[in-house]
Structure 1
Amino acid sequence: MTDKQSQDQAAIADIFARWAEANRTKDINAIIALYSEDICSYDAVGPLQFNGITEYRAHWEKCLPKDAEMVVEMQTPVIRVSGHLGVARFLIRCGMRQEDGTEQASWMRASYHLEKQANQWRIAHEHFSVPFDFDNGAAQFGLEP
């Protein structure tokens, strides 16, 4: 691995650290600043896809809880970089915690495609998914890494 690739991997890892912190603090502007204008997201929450920063921002505004704490626990991302493109994958536990300590959170799978635009890494595509039981079609929210 070259020094440039190591620097790019560190910059991408920093994006995920900033993304997690912005989620925990519910800072919508800090979240959205990490995405490309033409973001395509396959979020775990429907619809099937979100296209463009305006549409995705509206989704974030709807999904961030007003009266609950965000739960965001990420495993260390596996990051690969080649030129102006990067990919990453990790398991993430996310959801919300009510004031009484009750949580609605589960582990999911996350994969990302990033692009270097104007010398800055941006998230161009993300995909969150929850595994499901093949026999009954039910989401498997109780899985642990």
Structure 2
Amino acid sequence: MPEQAKAEEARIKALLEGWADAVRRHDLPAILAHHERDMVMFDLPPPLQCRGIEAYEQTWDLLFRYHKPGTAFDFRELAVTAGADVAFAVAIMWCGSDSSSNPIDKDGFLFRLTVGLRKVDGDWRIAHEHHSLPATD
């Protein structure tokens, strides 16, 4: 892998780690800081999709009702693939009372995250965010 691609992937990982840290702190301005104004998100709870930064901002109220500041919102796995001006990341994350590795812990859950990014004026911006859980019977 070329050094430039490694450097871009490291920048994106740092951006996403910063986003997760902002979620743990309930720092809404920092959560929104690297998102495009016209971003699209597919989330765990309804609605089916949200479009635009204002709609995305409103989705955090629901999580913050159940997720206390300082509570786990942690990457378990994170892989990034970066091109010159677009990139994507796939991750397994833990959201819960601690960083328990037990996926059936009643105080938390594992979920999947996919993020699409584009480079704008030299900075990576999140254009798409998709959170999901495996389907159950």
In which range does the TM-score fall when normalised by the shorter chain?
0.7 to 0.9
CA–CA distance in structure 1, aligned partners of residues 90 and 130 of structure 2: 9
Structure 1: where are the runs of 5+ without partners? 137-145
Q: Say what the alpha-carbon RMSD is for the aligned residues.
A: 2.0
Q: Is the 8 A contact 2:77 2:93 kept in 1?
A: no
Aligned to 1:82: 83
Is it true that 1:14 corresponds to 2:14 in the alignment? yes
Structure 2: where are the runs of 5+ without partners? 99-104
CA–CA distance in structure 2, aligned partners of residues 22 and 40 of structure 1: 19
Is it true that 1:42 corresponds to 2:45 in the alignment? no
Q: Is the 8 A contact 1:94 1:105 kept in 2?
A: yes
Q: Which runs of 4+ in 1 moved over 2 A?
A: 65-71
What TM-score results when the alignment is normalised by the length of structure 2? 0.85
Q: Is the 8 A contact 2:96 2:108 kept in 1?
A: yes
CA–CA distance in structure 2, aligned partners of residues 44 and 38 of structure 1: 20
Matches within 5 A, 1:36-75: 36-65=36-65, 68-69=68-69, 70-75=71-76
Highest Rg: 1 or 2?
1
CA–CA distance in structure 1, aligned partners of residues 44 and 122 of structure 2: 30
User: What is the aligned-residue identity percentage?
Assistant: 27
1:67 to 1:83, Cα distance in 2 relative to 1, 3 A = closer
Aligned to 1:113: 116
Q: Is the 8 A contact 2:37 2:53 kept in 1?
A: yes
1:61 CA drift (Å): 3.3
Q: Is the 8 A contact 2:92 2:112 kept in 1?
A: yes
How many residues get paired? 130
Q: Is the 8 A contact 1:96 1:103 kept in 2?
A: no
Aligned to 2:102: none
Is it true that 1:32 corresponds to 2:32 in the alignment? yes
1:46 to 1:95, Cα distance in 2 relative to 1, 3 A = farther
1:103 to 1:124, Cα distance in 2 relative to 1, 3 A = same
Q: Deviations over 1:26-80 (max 9, x none)?
A: 0000000021111100011211101000111111234323882432121231111
1:57 aligned partner, one-letter code: E
1:20 CA drift (Å): 1.1
What TM-score results when the alignment is normalised by the length of structure 1? 0.81
